[in-house]
Amino acid sequence: MAVVSTPFSFNTLTFPNLRRVNRFPGMAFASVNNKEAASLGVRVTEGEGNLPKVVLTSGSGSEVDIYLFGGCVTSWKVANGKDLLFVRPDAVFNKKKPISGGIPHCFPQFGPGQIQQHGFARNLDWSVVDSENVEGSPAVTLELKDSSYSRSIWDFSFHALYKITLSTKGLSTELKVTNTDNRPFSFTTALHTYFRASASGASVKGLKGRRTLNKGPDPKNPVEGSEEREVVTFPGYVDCIYLEAPSELHLDNGLGDLISIRNTNWSDAVLWNPYLTMEASYKDFVCVENAKIGNVQLEPQQSWTATQNLSIG
């Protein structure tokens, strides 16, 4: 897969607009430098394959890793040190492929469709544009804009901002896509979240009665249906879209954790487990994805924003 990468040096990385946000309205923001960034719970380090990685650390000890390549959150360790996300053992960190695991972006196409599966946002370098700490919750905002590479695939000018905030018990993301072109465009998108799980014991609640598009038999010709189960499990190969999913789902990861997955504006959901097609790892994860399966249509200068909040009880 062709990948465009931006030259990167740890020595030159700065945090534009890094700021400490005061608790009280009306007080001025204090500018901070990279050293202070660490004390605010935001630092940049070298990840796997020497790729730059932002680490957010909350006051309670929870921690999140985010690779600039793909704007991909790869780890969410809660205060007891348990990582609730999963990176596949076949994941590579060499920019030749998207990182297979964590929370990859699917943009501007969920797929299958006319361009590469899941689009290009997961195999481009995002950049840091803002960072802050609000009452002990560190946050970083990443940015992705069109480039000659993206335009060779999808010929539109766009601007995406992705804010990731870590709190004591939760991990929140906000994705804002703006049409910076002078023509309307449409896209589909998803956050393809890989949760660490015991797939045979994992289940999702909240989907009963929802319309389904089952991609299991043939991804290009999904079978329409509706979900009858209160508790949806992963007994074998699962690849199913839920249209107009609720704004809150509950995942029991089969490892003793109940994770609530709340969203605004991600109208649809996808459950995926590859079963024996990924024999080495399928037992250890399930994907529960917030998605926008129908086209989001944006006029020039219009934006679309969606949030996801993962939290443990």
Ligand X SMILES: O=P(O)(O)OC[C@H]1O[C@@H](O)[C@H](O)[C@@H](O)[C@@H]1O
Residues identified as active-site: 192, 289
| Residue whose CB is less far from ligand X, 215 or 292 | 215
C-beta closer to ligand X: residue 44 or 286: 286
Q: Is 268 in the site for ligand X (CB under 6 A)?
A: no
| By the rule CB under 6 A, 193 interacts with ligand X | no
User: Using the rule CB under 6 A, which residue among 239, 281, 282, 288 binds ligand X?
Assistant: 239
Q: Is 38 helix (H, G, I), strand (E, B) or coil?
A: helix
Check residue 192 for interaction with ligand X (CB under 6 A). Answer: yes
DSSP 204-231: EES-TT-EEEE-SS-TTSPEEEE---SE
Assess whether the previous peptide bond of 112 is cis (omega < 30° from 0). yes
For residue 244, what are the CA distances in angstroms to 207, 211, 287? Answer: 10, 7, 18
Specify whether the CB–CB gap between 144 and 71 falls below 8 A: yes
Q: Interface with ligand X includes 118 (CB under 6 A)? A: yes
**Amino acid type, 92:** V
CB closer to ligand X, 2 vs 27? 2
Q: How far is the CB of 271 from ligand X (least distance, A)?
A: 8
User: Residue with the closest Cβ to ligand X?
Assistant: 272
**270 near ligand X, judged by CB under 6 A:** yes
Q: Is 215 in the site for ligand X (CB under 6 A)?
A: yes
CB of 184 to ligand X, least distance (A): 26
Q: Which of 16, 184, 209, 219 binds ligand X (CB under 6 A)?
A: 219
288 interacts with ligand X by CB under 6 A: no
Structure tokens at 310: 């993962």
Closer to ligand X by Cβ: residue 154 or 272: 272
Angstrom distance (rounded) from CA 74 to CA 84: 10
Q: Which of residues 76-115 bind ligand X (CB under 6 A)?
A: 100
- Three-state DSSP class for 22? coil
Secondary structure of residue 306 in the 3-state scheme:
strand
CA distance 251 to 229: 14
- Distance from CA of residue 173 to its chain's centroid? 7
The letter for the amino acid at 268 is D
128, 15 contact by CB (below 8 A): yes
The residue among 63 and 289 lying less far from ligand X, judged by its C-beta, is 289
CB of 240 to ligand X, least distance (A): 8
Instruction: Tell me how far, at minimum, the Cβ of 291 lies from ligand X, in Å.
Output: 8
* 30-69 residues near ligand X, rule: CB under 6 A: none
Contact residues for ligand X (CB under 6 A)? Answer: 100, 117-118, 192, 215, 219, 239, 270, 272, 289
